[in-house]
Amino acid sequence: MEETIKKLTYTISEYMELPKDIVMDLPKITLIGDIYMTLENHLGIVEYTETMIRINTRSGELVISGENLKIKVIINEAIIINGQISGIKISK
Amino acid sequence: MLIFKIWNYINGYVIIRIKGNMLEKFLNLINLEKIFIWDVQKLGEDIIELKINAKKFKSIRHIARKTGTSVVITNKKGFPFLYKKLLKRKSLLVGLILFLSIQFIFASIIWDIRIIGNNDVSTEKILQSLKESGLKTGVLKYKIDRNHIINNLILQNPEIAWAGMKIKGTKVIITVVERTQIPEIEDTDPCNIIASKDGIVEEIIILKGEGVVKKGDLIKKGQILIKGISGDSDFDNNFIHAKGTVKARVFYNKRIKVPLTKIIDKETGRTSMLIKIKFKNCEIPIKKVGPVFNKYRSEIEKKTILGWRNILGFVEIITEKQYETKEEKIFLGIEGAFDVGKDILNKEINEFIPDGSTLTTKNFGKLLLKDESVLEVSLTVETIEDIGVKQKIIQK
């Protein structure tokens, strides 16, 4: 059932050219160089260390690796991370 | 995010250190409570440091209890903490207030008066008259009455044509423009007497010089009336100072147009009221009672709020009573319009007749203009006045 709804919303948003982060409630990642990252629509932090941050999102678990990672701001809708980011991975 | 930093500084924030095993859960719970945290930093295996609003700090206690973490404040920053610190150091606070107040007082005193543009009038004289009207070094800046001082300066020194005042910090700059005086004709200088206006000579009395016109002559402006020449022309240097009075009949004419119909505003009896608050130059309507009129006559009543000691003297309540009026046309007729025109001209008569002249005759004329419903009323006035003006003879 959930799969069907997901497919339907995807098709509608594709057809009507609507932004998918809003329609399908998906995370939106903005990366500035390798030092600054904004993540909107998150579902909470799973793990936080200096070299790795794991954040739960609707697309799966987002793994950010790097050095000296700091959470600049954390609010309900967004997380801003800065530090030396070396990798972003989405693991289902 | 400078504004964000400033806002946090004003409200005050604390840097806290959290120790425990379930730090991620702690962060998520804070997030769920919609408490704003920033600058989260991992210090060790199980220690994180973060910043939080000082007032929100209390509300994270139960989260700490739930997750089994210990919370320690490492630093307090921001204005409220600074303020508390400052209150403890009383002498510093007193010194600060004293410093600011002394600076304010010294900045509001006039220390220097500078006068620019005076050549003939001495600076001391201007300073003296400024002193009399209340401007000297050591006077408070806010007590200076600009108009009064400038007016007094010009009144006391007739040589000054214009004066301006500028206050720059603690310095007053007074700019003065001096009058260039017309050289007066002295009694010994050779001169002619000429006509200052057109007219007909009525009377001529010659005390010195040679009369060129006689009674009944038509003269034009600028024409020589009495020549400054001595009787015998044998001398080379025979120009003299002419003396005498020439009285002439001078005519003045004035025309005005008076419409035959007159529009007057008649009150219909309907009224409404409007209450406004005036704050300096800004008027804000508060309440309106009654209908809105196209044309109305208004009666305004002003009241100041808290006029006591003039603290809020600039705030006024204005009650405006509006009486509705309606335009009504009245046909005057030729005679009526003529009377109206006569009244207007009689009032204006003094404006175009110079002082010192005697009015002899006054004639009104009327002329109905074609096409227009307008009557032209004219007034011709005849006066007798002294029209002789001295003019210096320039010898070549």
Strand partners of residue B361: B382
Residues of A within 8 A of B32 (CB-CB) are 76
DSSP assignment of B127-147: HHHHHHTT--TT-BGGG--HH
Q: State the Cα–Cα distance between residues A73 and A37, nearest whole angstrom.
A: 11
pLDDT tens per residue, range B275-303? 888 777 788 888 888 888 888 888 888 77
pLDDT tens per residue, range B65-124? 888 889 999 999 999 998 888 888 889 889 999 999 999 999 988 888 888 888 888 888
User: Taking Cα atoms as reference points, which of B47, B387, B347, B392 lies closest to residue B219?
Assistant: B387
Q: Helices B90-107 and B79-88 sit at what angle, rounded to 10 degrees?
A: 100
User: Taking Cα atoms as reference points, which of B64, B37, B65, B34 lies closest to residue B53?
Assistant: B37
User: What are the φ/ψ torsions at residue B78 (nearest 5 degrees)?
Assistant: 115, 175
The helix/strand/coil state of B309 is: helix
Q: Are strands B191-195 and B160-168 parallel, antiparallel or unpaired?
A: unpaired
DSSP letter for B59, please: G
Chain A: nearest CA to B166, how far in angstroms? 53
What is the mean pLDDT of the segment spanning B262-272?
82
Q: Which of A48, A73, A75 sits opposite B42 (nearest CB)?
A: A48
Q: What residues contact residue B160 under an 8 Å CB cut-off, 6+ apart?
A: B121, B153, B154, B176, B177, B178, B179
Q: State the Cα–Cα distance between residues B50 and B232, nearest whole angstrom.
A: 116
Query: Which pLDDT belongs to residue B266?
Result: 81
Cβ pairs bridging A and B (under 8 Å): 45
CB contact at 8 A, B271 and B292 = no
Does B21 contact A at CB distance below 8 Å?
no
Mean pLDDT of chain B: 83
| Separate counts of helices (H) and strands (E) for chain A | 2, 6
Cβ–Cβ of A74/B34 closer than 8 Å?
A: no
Q: State the Cα–Cα distance between residues B180 and B186, nearest whole angstrom.
A: 18
Domain ranges in chain B are 2-83, 112-178, 191-247, 261-331
Angle at A10 between CA A8 and CA A16, to 5 degrees: 100
Percent over 90 (pLDDT), chain B: 9
Q: State the Cα–Cα distance between residues B14 and B49, nearest whole angstrom.
A: 10
Model confidence at B396: pLDDT above 60: no
Residues of B within 8 A of A69 (CB-CB) are 42
Q: What residues contact residue B153 under an 8 Å CB cut-off, 6+ apart?
A: B126, B129, B130, B133, B160, B163, B174, B176
What is the mean pLDDT of the segment spanning B369-390?
81
Cβ–Cβ of A48/B39 closer than 8 Å?
A: no
A66: left (phi over 0), alpha (psi -120 to 50) or beta: left
Model confidence at A86: pLDDT above 90: yes
- Please give the C-alpha separations between residue B366 and each of B256, B351, B378, in angstroms, as whole numbers: 10, 21, 6
Chain B: nearest CA to A16, how far in angstroms? 33
Say which CATH architecture domain B112-178 belongs to. Roll (3.10)
Chain A: nearest CA to B169, how far in angstroms? 46
User: Taking Cα atoms as reference points, which of B334, B331, B313, B196 lies closest to residue B261?
Assistant: B331
User: What are the φ/ψ torsions at residue A2 (nearest 5 degrees)?
Assistant: -65, -40
Q: State the Cα–Cα distance between residues B221 and B196, nearest whole angstrom.
A: 5
Look at the alpha carbons of A28, A32, A34, A37 in this order and tell me if their dihedral is positive or negative: negative
pLDDT band per the 50, 70, 90 thresholds, residue B395: low
Strand partners of residue B241: B191
Q: How many CA atoms lie within 13 A of B220 on its CB side?
A: 0
Residues of A within 8 A of B31 (CB-CB) are 44, 74-76
pLDDT band per the 50, 70, 90 thresholds, residue B152: confident
Look up residue B244 and give its two tokens.
Answer: 């005498």
Domains of chain A: 25-91 (2.60.40.2000)
Query: What topology is assigned to B2-83 in CATH?
Result: Alpha-Beta Plaits (3.30.70)
Q: State the Cα–Cα distance between residues B271 and B248, nearest whole angstrom.
A: 59
Angle at B329 between CA B324 and CA B335, to 5 degrees: 140
CB contact at 8 A, B362 and B381 = yes
DSSP letter for B65, please: H
Q: How many CA atoms lie within 13 A of B183 on its CB side?
A: 6
Burial class (CB in 10 A: 0-12, 13-18, 19+), B345: buried
CB atoms within 10 A of CB B196: 19
Does A44 contact B at CB distance below 8 Å?
yes
Least confident segment among A58-67, A68-77, B253-262: B253-262
Model confidence at B169: pLDDT above 70: yes
User: What are the φ/ψ torsions at residue B214 (nearest 5 degrees)?
Assistant: -130, 175
